[in-house]
């Protein structure tokens, strides 16, 4: 899972990309980068956060009427600093000139690498899109038809999830183009503003940069935009779109919309459903900041139990997408404060978006009790996560999920409650999740393998069989 942005038009785009990266920082915290192009390549990228990488004006203001940006959440490659620096995007080639950023996960990279004579410069699966695309465009005079044909051939080779942006040069007329996987697992939206056009991961970027939302890009599509604002689009493969359910549950910001559905409204309604189906006698509802806030608001409104802020978040970093377990623990321990004035003597319902490894929830229960809570009940806005995601969320091994025991069997809710020290625990049911969202979603992590798109189930079953604790099976 990453954040991507591309801008092309009639004026310099660097500052628009820079501000857009802040709007999608929550999608990736391991590295960030920006590339603009004016016949020369101007690129800055590094590991860390946007605010730390772009720390002077020379990096922020670079020339070019077209450019790409990226915030990376690592689902491929190693997690040490050198690897994070090496795998930062945008990535580019010079023969032909082609730059790219990618959000998603290509699960057949090993096959693709044997079908190209080019050597990947990094471990990241952007190479599995960039290299075959470069092969198809090599020694060809660029035109929209040439790009469409190249994308069609690449899409036939690539399996997995991808919403990817490319920048290609054809003399004085650069093109920006995008491809989306047939199931549109990862979001991609188009916006415009006074001769500028933007493709990016979330609609919130448009609010931050005063762009006008135009449309969601359909699955299996190619969209090409030239510097004069001409747009060319084809849907090359048409299948049922199944966006990642974790976008709605956790990853996207509440002020974004996916296929017209407000992320805020989805989380609010899931909270209402939690209260309706899993009531509890309690004194206060306490959201886990910031991810549990909308669920808790819905739970409070449906149950009539007052909402109060019993937990304060002191850090902006997201614990789930930290690369290492010790980093996740540190964020939780240093980033949360429990308010005794709110929690002491109360029967408390703590509401959050999800439980993956159990890093957060154990600390939350312990912290609430230390602050004097009489009872602690946990309510979770999505179903139990039981299987790795092979399409862009870094849940690596089936053995790391709290919802599974040591032998690999799925635990009951009561067993999990006992494990985390809570008085009770309840989740949203799988069918209810999809009903609230309003259309089919990819939910392979909560219903394996049936929750994955039909044409990917053989691949994910094979990866599941290769699964070893702590390793990504597709690498």
Q: Any idea which residues carry the catalytic annotation?
A: 2
d(CA 96, CA 454): 36
- Rounded Cα gap, residues 43 and 39, in angstroms: 13
Query: Are 331 and 360 within 8 A, CB to CB?
Result: no
User: Which residue, among 250, 423, 433, 272, has the nearest Cα to 349 in the 3D structure?
Assistant: 423
Separation CA 181–CA 190 (nearest Å): 16
- Rounded CA separation 74/158 (Å): 19
d(CA 20, CA 15): 8
CB contact at 8 A, 420 and 350: no
Residue 182 contacts residue 156 (beta carbons within 8 Å): no
Closest CA to 429 of 444, 416, 415, 447: 447
Residues 6 or more apart from 452 whose CB is under 8 A from it? 390, 391, 442, 444, 460
Given the DSSP bridges, would you call strands 231-235 and 221-226 parallel, antiparallel or unpaired? antiparallel
Q: Which of these, 135, 126, 124, lies nearest to 102 by C-alpha position?
A: 126
Tally of helices (H runs) and strands (E runs) in the chain:
17, 21
- The CA dihedral of 69, 74, 79, 82, to the nearest 10 degrees, is -20
Phi/psi of residue 75, nearest 5 degrees: -125, 10
């Amino acid at each position: 899972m990453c954040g991507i942005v591309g801008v092309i038009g009639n004026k310099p785009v660097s500052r628009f990309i820079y501000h857009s990266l802040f709007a999608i920082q929550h999608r990736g915290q391991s590295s960030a980068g920006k590339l603009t192009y004016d016949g020369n390549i101007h690129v800055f990228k590094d590991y860390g956060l946007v605010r730390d990488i772009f720390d002077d004006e020379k990096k922020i203001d670079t020339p070019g009427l077209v450019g790409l940006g990226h915030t990376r959440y690592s689902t491929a490659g190693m997690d040490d600093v050198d690897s994070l620096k090496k795998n930062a995007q945008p990535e580019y080639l010079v023969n032909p000139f082609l730059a790219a950023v990618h959000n998603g996960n290509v699960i057949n990279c090993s096959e693709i690498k044997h079908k190209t004579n080019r050597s990947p410069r990094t471990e990241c699966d952007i190479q599995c899109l960039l290299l075959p695309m470069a092969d198809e465009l090599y020694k060809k005079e660029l035109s929209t038809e040439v790009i469409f044909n190249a994308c069609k051939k690449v899409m036939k080779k690539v399996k997995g999830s991808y919403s990817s942006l490319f920048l290609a040069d054809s003399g004085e007329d650069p093109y920006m183009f995008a491809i989306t996987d047939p199931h549109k697992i990862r979001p991609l939206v188009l916006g415009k503003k006074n001769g500028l056009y933007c493709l990016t991961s979330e609609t919130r970027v448009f609010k931050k940069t005063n762009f006008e939302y135009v449309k969601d890009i359909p699955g299996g599509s190619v969209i090409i935009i030239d510097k004069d604002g001409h747009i060319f689009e084809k849907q090359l493969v048409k299948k049922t779109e199944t966006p990642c359910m974790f976008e709605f549950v956790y990853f996207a910001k509440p002020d974004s919309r996916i296929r017209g559905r407000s992320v805020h409204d989805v989380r609010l309604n899931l909270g209402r459903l939690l209260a309706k189906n899993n009531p509890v006698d309690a004194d206060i509802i306490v959201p886990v900041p910031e991810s549990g806030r909308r669920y808790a608001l819905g739970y409070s409104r449906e149950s009539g139990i007052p909402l109060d802020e019993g937990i304060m978040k002191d850090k902006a970093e997201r614990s789930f997408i930290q690369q290492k377990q010790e980093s996740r623990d540190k964020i939780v321990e240093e980033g949360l404060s429990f308010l005794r004035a709110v929690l002491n003597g109360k029967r408390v319902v703590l509401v959050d978006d999800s439980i993956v490894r159990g890093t957060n929830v154990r600390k939350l229960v312990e912290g609430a009790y230390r602050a004097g809570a009489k009872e602690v009940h946990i309510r979770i806005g999505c179903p139990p996560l039981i299987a790795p995601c092979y399409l862009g969320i870094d849940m690596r091994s089936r053995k790391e999920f709290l919802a599974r025991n040591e032998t690999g069997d799925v635990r009951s809710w009561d067993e999990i409650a006992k494990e985390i020290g809570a008085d009770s625990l309840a989740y949203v049911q799988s069918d209810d999740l999809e009903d609230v969202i309003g259309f089919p979603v990819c939910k392979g992590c909560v219903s394996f393998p049936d929750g994955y798109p039909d044409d990917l189930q053989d691949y994910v079953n094979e990866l599941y069989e290769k699964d070893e604790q702590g390793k990504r099976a597709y690498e």
